Amino acid sequence: MPDTSIFTPHGKHLIAGKWVSHSATFSSDPAHGAAHAFSVGTPDLVDQACKAAEEAFWSFGYSSREDRAAFLEAIGDELEARGDHITEIGTQETGLPEARLQGERGRTVGQLRLFADHIRAGEYLDRRHDPAMPDRQPLPRPDLKVVQRPIGPVAVFGASNFPLAFSTLGGDTASALAAGCPVVVKGHSAHPGVAEINAEAIHAAIQSTGMNPGVFSLIQGGKRDVGTALVEHPLIKAVGFTGSLGGGRALFDLCAARPEPIPFFGELGSVNPMFLLPDAVANRGAEIAKGWAGSLTMGAGQFCTNPGISVVIASPEADAFVEAARAALAEVNAQTMLTDGIASAYREGRDRVAGTAGVQEVLTTTCDMRNATPYLFATTGKDWLANEELGEEVFGPLGLIVRVEDMDEMLAVARSMQGQLTAALHMDDSDTDAARLLMPILERKAGRLLANGFATGVEVCDAMVHGGPYPASTNFGATSVGTLAIRRFLRPVCYQNLPDALLPGDLA
């Protein structure tokens, strides 16, 4: 009998409840283990999926919160039931360790259950009611009620660095489904096997809860024309994306150029600066350096919240911080990156930083193939301000220390920063006055501000903001993590003098 404990992908697309394929295939490129063949997506499949999603919206978009909550919970249960297979093929495709994938699966399931509880409570609907005032002078006021309503089918592009939490069944998909919006996913070619298992979990939940099968479709592979067809399809009403600045900006421009422009919720890039204040550096610089090294190299530096920049005022204590960071990073071994392309881009970013005027090498290593080793560079505040490219993200375990002359130059460096997902202050109580000077600047630059911590690790909860001014994201008023993410796929509708029999159930 065959060993059923080993997962072998069938390589098909899921389109409105049916597994379909074409003769053209592409091969996965695993870090280890066997490669597998997957059917190549086409614009025709996109059209089928989008039409099925629109048809499903007429029931799913008007379903009860309880039914959608039960659907989300069923997906979580199905995902947990496939945990061993996800870990097995996920480690092969991405090179990520088992513990990381198991933790990410737990986060993904927890997110689905959190969203289920959140929509049951109904607070996200922001319901408001202004009762009629027929006797008001000089004019009467009508009865007015408002509630958030789902916008329609949503396109989601899977991310390379989180095969679960930001991909097929990640935050974009989960929040769109919670809102009542069907989803069409363009799977990422870095982990098509994991995407297939995720789709199987959703498919099983659709069947067990009686949802319209068009509520979810997965299209694997395909050239640029597949992504373009998905974004430009007239039935798609919003796009969720996590990825590179170049790729995200191209899709953003497509959304804006449509006959009917639609919102593009893209997370594109961030260097997540840390500002180290003098007394904190003097009192515990070595501790901060060690923590920074751990955060910088976590997951081979392939986190969107990777803290790539440390800004510190020049002093002997700052020199000791630099040396402590160098020593901590020197102990980190090579790690496997998610894809050959990401590894190549990391080396290109390293060379770009190393070749910039005014940059000194603090720690150099050797990495090749799909491996990544840490690098550490340093520059002055003056050279940072003169070289705008130093503020561009390098996706991987590369750190840059910016030594500024004084607090005024630290403020100037902060003002020069582009939009960020996060910004961190390392401070002692005696640094409060200096921190207070930075706060108005950092609030304008980042979606999440931290004190005495490291940004890697994004809690899935009500208060989380994972977004920020461009280029961290394309919509500074939104978040892709936490329950507030659901609001991206809703719009307010006002009902004037409508009888209760015609109002949505959420207003009853």
Task: Give the tens place of pLDDT for each residue, 479-497.
Answer: 999 999 999 999 999 999 9
Higher per-residue confidence, 173 vs 222: 173
With a cut of 50, say whether residue 181 has pLDDT above it. Answer: yes
Provide the pLDDT for residue 269: 87
Question: In this prediction, what percent of the chain has a pLDDT beyond 70?
Answer: 99
Q: Which residues are catalytic?
A: 267, 304
Peptide bond into 138 cis (omega under 30): yes
Peptide bond into 134 cis (omega under 30): no
Provide the pLDDT for residue 223: 84
- Find the mean pLDDT for residues 400-424: 98
With a cut of 70, say whether residue 385 has pLDDT above it. Answer: yes
Can you read off the two tokens belonging to residue 362? Answer: 């603090």
Q: Please choose, from the candidates 448, 433, 455, 426, the residue with its C-alpha nearest in 3D space to the C-alpha of residue 287.
A: 426
The residues pairing with 241 across neighbouring beta strands, listed in sequence order, are: 157, 266
**Going by C-beta distance under 8 Å and a sequence separation of 6 or more, which residues neighbour residue 88?**
6, 7
Return the exposure string of 477-494: e unless at least 16 CB atoms fall within 10 Å of the residue's CB, then b. ebbbbbbbbbbbbbeeee
CB atoms within 10 A of CB 324: 18
Can you read off the two tokens belonging to residue 373? Answer: 């080793």
Q: Please choose, from the candidates 366, 396, 358, 362, the residue with its C-alpha nearest in 3D space to the C-alpha of residue 376.
A: 362
**Cα distance between residue 156 and residue 218, in whole Å:** 10
Provide the pLDDT for residue 2: 35
- Find the mean pLDDT for residues 72-97: 96
With a cut of 90, say whether residue 184 has pLDDT above it. Answer: yes
With a cut of 90, say whether residue 471 has pLDDT above it. Answer: yes
Provide the pLDDT for residue 3: 42
- Find the mean pLDDT for residues 319-326: 98
Residue 242 backbone dihedrals phi, psi, to 5 degrees: -135, 120
Provide the pLDDT for residue 1: 29
- Find the mean pLDDT for residues 369-389: 96
| H or E element at residue 383 | helix 381-386
The residues pairing with 219 across neighbouring beta strands, listed in sequence order, are: 186
- Find the mean pLDDT for residues 349-366: 95
Helix (H) and strand (E) counts for the chain?
A: 14, 21
pLDDT category, 457, cuts 50, 70, 90?
A: confident
Provide the pLDDT for residue 5: 59
235-284: per-residue pLDDT in tens?
A: 999 999 999 999 999 999 999 999 999 999 999 989 999 999 999 999 99
| H or E element at residue 494 | strand 490-496
